[in-house]
Structure 1
């Protein structure tokens, strides 16, 4: 969509990932059966046809209520750090799975120059793809790059966990967004430190700052 977003190597991104409107629905049975004679716990799902203000393509879908609220906050954050020339997202394409607590993102669409365009597309390997991955790591503890570039997120509070997926993202971001080509899974923090990064990226505040900076670098908005 944006010619200023240089293409990235899909092989590097995927290999890195490999290595390192609303109706409330109640009464859905929890994943684990309750003991005999005990009341069965329930999960509360909400049917939503939007994430933030963006229409969910193919919606409505049923989400865990807290998860949908986190997705709302994530997309608002993504939009707030996107280029001024882009509208707020008008469409999000993806699918819900699990117990309403997993979402696989395929596309984010905005309006630019009076045309609807893909600001993020799963099958397109560019800086906006890595930026969107950063934005999801900012809001969720478990984010995975699927085959074909789709981004799969699981509900939970954000923060550093040290997972292989987080480390792989950090290394790829260091190389592709900060230009630290020698960074690897064992020394990426040292490379960032020498590049003048402030807070330790594996602290709570440091991870939030690192992922926000990754979003802004990828979307070319770090200068404002």
Structure 2
């Protein structure tokens, strides 16, 4: 894909998104207890599928837990609905499914524009589209991790704010890199986000949904604020 999105320093993004993993944030909600986690499911219930929403899987059919695949369908449709109008719906997704079918590591989303297939998101490219795609995954999944190479790993479960280190790290990075709020950190990002036009507390269920959606659109340049 062309480099129309603003390039962001790779080291700064990866450090910013990972930094909060070692930070305990006062006033945030703790991650759900083990009793609230999605129970382990049998690999015998896996279904073999070759697409996520409209996009074919680059490596061919893969085995998913059916409800997790439905969440991935909804996520990619959401990402596409908030992408630039000149982009096609995603035509290919490059990623790897975990053996138990309950996790997915995203490496690329490909679209067509001007009759060319382009990488709208690429794990190794540090730009606003990378943070935007991260926002879209946080909108749909409770656990989203940035790997060392920039790939994005998601695990199944209901979406929503849970106060995890990964969510806080993303929120700080989004405030700084997408919204220009350079002073935001793990202790005060909520105040900065609220002043940026998000009156609902972003550390609430509805506020988190609004903040991640707005950050997606900000990163893909489909809405101005």
TM-score (norm 1): 0.88
Deviations 1:4-32 (A, max 9, x none): 31111211221123221xxxxxxxxx969
Report the CA distance between 1:42 and its aligned residue: 6.9
- Where do residues 14-163 of structure 1 align in structure 2 (5 Å cutoff)? 14-20=14-20, 43-163=44-164
Q: Distance in 2 between matches of 1:56 and 1:143?
A: 20
Partner of 1:196: 197
Compare relative contact order (CA 8 Å, sep 6+) and give the higher one, 1 or 2: 2
Report the CA distance between 1:140 and its aligned residue: 0.1
Q: Distance in 2 between matches of 1:43 and 1:211?
A: 34
Partner of 2:177: 176
What is the SS of the residue equivalent to 2:149? helix
What is the SS of the residue equivalent to 1:147? coil
Partner of 1:37: none
Deviations 1:171-212 (A, max 9, x none): 000001110000000000111222332111011110000000
More strand by share: 1
Deviations 1:84-107 (A, max 9, x none): 000000000000014100100000
Partner of 2:23: none
In structure 1, the gaps of 5 or more residues are 21-29, 33-40
Report the CA distance between 1:143 and its aligned residue: 0.2
What is the SS of the residue equivalent to 1:100? coil
Contact preservation (8 Å) 2:108, 2:123:
yes
**When the two structures are aligned, how many residues end up with a matched partner?**
207
